[in-house]
Amino acid sequence: MWPKSFLVLAFLAHITSSTSVIKSSDEFRSDCRALASYLNIPHGNVSSSSLVTTGTTLQFPNSDQTCNRPSQTVSVDLCRVELTIATSNRSSISMEAWLPANWTGRFLSTGNGGLGGCIQYEDIEYGASLGFATVGTNNGHDGMTGESFLDNADVVEDFAYRALHIGVVIGKKISASFYGSEHSKSYYLGCSTGGRQGMKEAQTFPDDFDGIVAGAPAMAFNNLTSWSSRFLPLTGLPGSPTFIPLDMWPIIAQDILDQCDDNDGVSDGIMESPDLCDYNPKALSCGVSENATNCLTTQQLQTIKSIYSPLLDANRDLVYPRLQPGAELLGVPQTYFTGQPFGASDWFKYAIFNDPNWDPMSLVPADYVLSSTMNRFNIETWDGDLSAFQKKGGKLLHYHGLADPVISSENSPRYHQHVLNTMGLSSAELDEFYRYFAVSGMAHCGGGPGAANIGNSARNSVSLDPQENVLMRMVEWVENDNAPETITGIALVNGTLGSGIAFKRNHCKWPARNHYRGSGDPNNADSWKCIWGREECCCWYGGILFCCGVSNEKKMQNHDFVEQLDHRPSRAAWNQS
């Protein structure tokens, strides 16, 4: 396997834009040092512009400890610009622009995670290493908590949309000032909250980017925080009758695989269609005595059923889809099921109730409605009309791991369908600018047992081949009009690059599903196919089963969802359909 440094150099030699600017070493050094002195940023303060050479490990001693980013190694020569920008008389953003010596003429903005106010240096470095002039912000506050939201709507507004947009506008100005020319194309890369930020940009600021890569987006934000915060009162505290001991989760996970792993044609520990899994935990019941071990009591069984059911409010209206089966051992016990408050409850504490003493155990359905109704600065990020982005010529690549333990993967196709309905487009028409890919076996933004390395971050980048790297695939789509039909993911032996490649899998463009052909090595990508047939084209959102109304594969190329079934068929009936 080629070393990463060789792959980067080969990639840059292949894709360098005709508008790129390559400065001599002396010119690059002197221009970088002078940049801070002449940059004029409205309401901004440029603290420094400094040369960073290949192999340098930058230290961030003043970084908030909750950001867990004490340092970052840099793999290319670049000019690092540090600045702050006031967004009001009581709020500001911190941002950085990393301007590589091997600039390709492209601009890239990165996003954030959770409720975080953390510059994701690893993502900025990833973009800069590939020749993008790359920026990132702290999202308007420091640290991973929501404490800064307390009694400060301006900080909430920065978090909802403003910090990233201002960072893009200012970042483009910095890039043009330094290189002496405008960028050729602009791109965005983010996951989780970063995915929501990318979607917000497409919805609200369509001129900011030519191409957006948005992963596991925290859309339906108010409802997502209701769903994730509700797990604590659902499970209760450790030792309560409703709480499921952590050592039961491996047993539950295996029970789910036993029931649903072969829905995609083969049992391999990876579910290609967890939305088709109608999990029934009755086999784990302790029975009448409820004194057995390695089993679930009646109350615990009800907890499990609630976890794998959509969350409804008091009026039985959908709040948020269920947790998809298959994420049980990919971080869920360490996040939602420990009997501890999840970080998203800070949104209620500081942004909704403005009460630092609010008890996360007190969350009730009326609070879901309150948060959704307030929808502070339209943070819901659920606008279905992307026509301005479409007319601008923008491209949107949306992906979501099907084993995501933090944000339900069943919410992503729900938004895709919402855009179809809102804009009145066929799937083929939507495909012209917006494509969604479900990545089997991927946990939250990476990791998991599947072929989850798709180049969405440096740690998930094994290849710079556009077919195997979503950022490079977006460049292909925007600049060469080469739209992706599949995204090829890579699984590594023991999860480490040095151990070699375990297998690859081609992840399908929604609503097609990956299905085993019935013969051949399941670890061979060619042993799978993207299917448009009726049975394989059904999925659940919000407790409703949507199925393709046409089974002919050719006709399905322009399919629309036309059938809704209010009752889930039994497994036997499903297999006979």
Instruction: Output the pLDDT for position 534.
Output: 40
Domain-embedded: residue 66 = yes
- Please identify which of the residues 400, 404, 408, 409 carries the catalytic annotation: 404
Per the model's pLDDT, the better-predicted residue between 305 and 315 turns out to be: 305
Whole-angstrom Cα distance, residue 418 to residue 434? 12
pLDDT > 60? residue 267 = yes
Per-residue confidence at 177, pLDDT binned at 50, 70, 90? very high
In this structure, are 90 and 24 located in the same domain?
yes
Residue 547 lies in a domain: no
∠ Cα 435 437 442 (to 5°): 155
Note whether 342 and 336 are within 8 A (CB).
Answer: yes
Distance CA 475, CA 210 (A): 9
Domain with 153, as residue range(s), is: 1-181
pLDDT at residue 291, rounded to an integer: 58
CA nearest neighbour of 229 among 366, 369, 405, 360 = 360
Residue 319 domain-assigned? yes
Of the candidates 145, 174, 180, the one whose C-alpha atom is nearest the C-alpha of residue 66 is 145
351 and 237, same structural domain? Answer: yes
- Indicate whether 7 and 154 sit together in one domain: yes
Q: What is the pLDDT of residue 3?
A: 42
In a domain, 368, yes or no: yes
Q: Is the dihedral of CA 334, 336, 338, 342 positive or negative?
A: positive
Q: Do 155 and 258 belong together in one domain?
A: no
Does the active-site annotation cover 404? yes
Confidence band for 539, pLDDT divided at 50, 70 and 90: low
Question: At which of 352, 378, 404 does a domain end?
Answer: 378
Task: Please indicate, yes or no, whether residues 191 and 126 belong to a single structural domain of this protein.
Answer: no
Kindly state the average pLDDT of the residues 315-325. 94
Q: Among this protein's residues, is 560 annotated catalytic?
A: no
* Burial (CB count within 10 angstroms: exposed 0-12, middle 13-18, buried 19+), residue 424: exposed
pLDDT at 499: 86
Residues 371, 447, single domain; the answer is no
With DSSP H G I counted as helix, E B as strand and the rest as coil, what are the percentages for the chain, rounded to 5?
Answer: 40, 20, 40
- Mean confidence (pLDDT) of the chain: 89
Do 233 and 203 reside in the same domain of the chain?
A: no
More confident residue, 349 or 21: 349
Tell me the pLDDT band of 11, cut-offs 50, 70 and 90. very low
Looking from the CA of 236 toward its CB, the CA atoms found within 13 Å total 13
Tell me how far apart the alpha carbons of residues 326 and 272 are, in angstroms, rounded to a whole number: 10
CA distances from 379 to 67, 197, 370, 382 (A): 22, 9, 14, 8
Q: Could you say which of 192, 229, 273, 372 is catalytic?
A: 192
Task: Residue 425: count other Cβ atoms within 10 Å of its Cβ.
Answer: 19
pLDDT band of 543, cuts 50, 70, 90:
very low
Task: Between 491 and 567, name the one with better pLDDT.
Answer: 491
Query: Of 96 and 12, which is predicted with more confidence?
Result: 96
Q: What residue has token string 């993967």?
A: 409
Question: What is the tens place of the pLDDT at every residue in 505-521?
Answer: 999 999 999 999 999 99
Residue closest to 372 by CA, chosen among 193, 231, 203, 221: 221
The pLDDT assigned to 20 comes to 53
More confidently predicted of 334 and 319: 319
Tell me: the pLDDT tens digits for 45-68? 999 999 999 999 999 999 999 999
Report the alpha-carbon distance of residue 304 to residue 400 in Å, rounded: 23
Query: Do 205 and 125 share a structural domain?
Result: no
Give SS3 for 97. strand
Distances (CA, A) of 515 to 4, 262, 339, 412, 526: 32, 10, 37, 20, 11
d(CA 273, CA 260): 9
Q: Mapped to the 3 state alphabet, what secondary structure does 429-453 carry?
A: HHHCCEEEEEECCCCCCCCCCCCCE
Which tens digit of pLDDT belongs to each residue from 348-400? 999 999 999 999 999 999 999 999 999 999 999 999 999 999 999 999 999 99
Whether residue 52 is contained in a domain is answered as yes
Catalytic residue among 183, 400, 444, 507: 444
- The residue among 330, 356, 378 that closes a domain is 378
**Is residue 131 domain-shared with residue 213, that is, in the same domain?**
no
Does 557 fall in a domain? no
For residue 153, the tally of other CB atoms under 10 A from its CB is 16
- Do 206 and 311 lie in one domain? The reply is no
**445 shares its domain with 302:** no
Q: Name the domain count of the chain.
A: 3
Strand partners, 72: 58
Same domain for 198 and 229? no
Residue 431 exposure: Cα atoms within 13 Å on the Cβ side:
18
In the block, which residue shows the tokens 């901004």? 44
**What is the spatial distance between Cα 565 and Cα 551, in angstroms, rounded to a whole number?**
17
Confidence of residue 102 (pLDDT cuts 50, 70, 90): very high
Q: What are 146's two structure tokens?
A: 């929501």
For 34, 38, 210, 312, 472, the CA distances from 49, given in Å and listed in that order, are 7, 11, 27, 51, 28
- pTM for the model: 0.89
Task: Give the end of a domain, one of 378, 407, 435.
Answer: 378
**What pLDDT score was predicted for residue 216?**
98
10 pLDDT more than 60: no
What confidence tens digit (pLDDT) does each residue in 216-257 have? 999 999 999 999 999 999 999 999 999 999 999 999 999 999
In a domain, 549, yes or no: no
Distance between CA 403 and CA 443 in Å, rounded? 5
pLDDT at 333 (0 to 100): 59
Q: Is residue 383 part of a domain?
A: no
Find the mean pLDDT for residues 116-140: 97
Q: Do the strands 91-100 and 132-137 form a parallel or antiparallel pair, or are they unpaired?
A: antiparallel
